[in-house]
Structure formats: C-alpha cells, structure tokens
Structure 1
Amino acid sequence: MKNNCTCAICGKGYYVCLPCSKPETNTWKLHTCTTGHYKVYSVIHGYSSGVYTKKETYDRLKNVDLSEKDSFKENVRGIIEDIISECSEQVEEVKPVRSRNKRK
C-alpha cells in the first residue's frame, strides 16, 4: 500500500487505513508512525503551543524514549536539544545548601 501519512517526528512515510484504524481511539496514527513517536510529539506539541514551559517540557521529556533522537527531523531534534541543554544547565547551577544546625 502507498504511504499516505508522514511522521511528524522522524519524517518517514507510512500507511494508515483511516476507516480501519478508528482515528477516534488511535489518534497517534494520524500524526506519527509509532506510539513512542507520538509520546514525543505530544510533549513537543504541548511546548510549541504554550501549554508547557521549558522546565515542564524537560521534565516530560525525561519520561519518553529519546534513544532514536538522531533519526528525528532536524527541527524536532533542535527543540529537544535546546530544552535539554538549557534546563540541565539550570539544574547544575542549583547547589545544595548546607544546614547550619547540627543534628543530635
């Protein structure tokens, strides 16, 4: 069958039989080629549309599989790398505060 969709994350073409796939229950098939890519899509879409801040997006990205990040579209990969680098730098800047109270 001929590809009729393009994955929003990796850019690969794939086929979706719209009457068979029940779009109302399998919305991921309309946007991405796998459920894993749909998880990434949901986080990036939430950030791009202003639903999530960079920090919230960073926290959500820690819960999705980014092992195939090198195969993602350049713009998607750029957004992810920007968020990770900026937010991980902020985490490193926060240093633990030592308590002056001695424990007994």
Structure 2
Amino acid sequence: MFLRAVPETAQKPTRPQLATRITLGEVSRSTKGRKGFTYDPETGKLLPGSAVAVKLAMKGEKYSTRRKTAKWERVLREYFRQQGIEVPIEELRKTLYTYLESK
C-alpha cells in the first residue's frame, strides 16, 4: 500500500471538473429505472443499459481547454495559500510578468 497526498482538486475542484460532475450526475439520473442489458457497439459487449446510455451521452463532451500550470505557479500558489492568502493564478502571472518586463 502506498500513501500519497490528496489531489488539490479533490477538495476544491476546478470549474470544468464541476461541470463534468454535474453533467454526469444529470445524465445518470435520467437513466434511472432502466433495466436489462444493451449491446455496446464500441466494445462489442453487453453492458447495463444505463451504463451505455451514460457513455453515449458523455462521449465527446469537452468542458475546458485548460493548460497545465507550470511548477513555479504551483509553488507560488502553495506558498501564498500557506500564508493564508488566496491569489488567483492569473493575478500571479500578470504581476510576475509586469515585474519582469520592468527590469
């Protein structure tokens, strides 16, 4: 068994993650009561009907084109968070680039 830190987004999900989770919940709720199995053309197997419906409804959905944050951004954000200061990453970028351009 390996222990690891809880991901940052587990307790504070991003907006795209929230949108995905909400959509998944709504789609799965709409399949409530389905019985039996349905043929899944992608895998060629019989799956529970509600699983196939959710899979087809969620397929191809995109909620963000978010880029991965650089390590220096994560380190700075974590430092400010430890100090009790919540600073949006866009503010950090803008401030740092303004500072670097002035030099």
Check whether TM > 0.5.
no
Please report the TM-score for the alignment, with normalisation by the length of structure 1.
0.26
Alignment TM-score, normalising by the size of structure 2: 0.26
Larger Rg: 2
Which has the bigger relative contact order, CA under 8 A and spacing at least 6? 1
